[in-house]
Amino acid sequence: MSKNVAVIVGSLRADSDNRKLAKALVGLAPDSLGFCFVGTGDLPLYNPDLDTDTPPEAWTAFRKHMSRADAVLFVTPEYNRSVPANLKNALDVGSRPYGSSIWNGKPTGIVTGSPGGIAGFGANHHLRQSLVFLNAPPMHQPEAYVGGLATLFDEDGAIKDEGTRTFLTGVMKGFADWVEKLS
């Protein structure tokens, strides 16, 4: 039986390179994983004053959807050496109300991508820091920082470079093993 993996893309652009990367990763994954993309762009900013018996509907739907996931794969760009605001907000919304975090115990994977050479190193490590606190253990190895996103894909969204495809296949195999180990 395949594990249900929620995919959260940090970029909100419909045709973002990180969204293309996420789709490519799903295509390279072992059959032991099943994937569902979960949006974060419609989540109101977390505000404890709104977290009452009737929180915003978008929060409730997000929390319900994420609670059904066995694991989470984050694919994100780096904004100002950190994660995009919508991604941090999703972490906050999912971690509340206190004691009811949807992240608790879920194995996670992080792939960061950038048009430049640093390839999202800062975002990757900021996200790891939050996930460790939330008890959503991020995969240790292999780490995945993907540079050169602007030239990585062909017109159909496939990865052009065989070496990169081989590396990312290994990342997804490692992620499948990580999910299985922690399940």
SS3 assignment, position 142: coil
Pairing mode, if any, of strands 33-37 and 144-146?
unpaired
Give the pLDDT band of residue 66 (cuts 50, 70, 90).
Answer: very high
pLDDT at residue 15, as a whole number: 87
119-123 contacts, C-beta under 8 A, 24 or more apart: 119/145, 119/146, 119/147, 120/76, 120/77, 120/78, 120/145, 120/146, 121/78, 121/145, 122/78, 122/81, 122/82, 123/10, 123/76, 123/77, 123/78, 123/79, 123/81, 123/82, 123/83, 123/84
Question: What tokens were used for 148?
Answer: 């050169």
**Would you say the C-alpha torsion 111, 127, 99, 8 has a positive or negative sign?**
negative
Confidence of residue 49 (pLDDT cuts 50, 70, 90): very high
Q: Give mean pLDDT, residues 170-175.
A: 98
- The answer to whether the pTM exceeds 0.95 is yes
Residue 47 is predicted with a pLDDT of 97
- Predicted confidence (pLDDT) at residue 1 exceeds the cutoff of 80: no
Q: What pLDDT band is residue 116 in, cutting at 50, 70 and 90?
A: confident
Q: Are 25 and 171 in contact (CB under 8 A)?
A: yes
Distances (CA, A) of 83 to 87, 90, 100, 118, 176: 6, 11, 23, 14, 24
Angle at which helix 17-28 crosses helix 162-182, to 10 degrees, equals 70
The SS3 assignment for 6 reads: strand
How high is the pLDDT of residue 119?
78
Set out the domains of the chain in order of their start, with CATH numbers: 3-41+59-182 (3.40.50.360)
- Is residue 4 scored above 80 in pLDDT? yes
Q: CB atoms < 10 A from the CB of 10, how many?
A: 28
| pLDDT, mean over the chain | 96
- In whole angstroms, what is the distance from residue 68 CA to residue 94 CA? 12
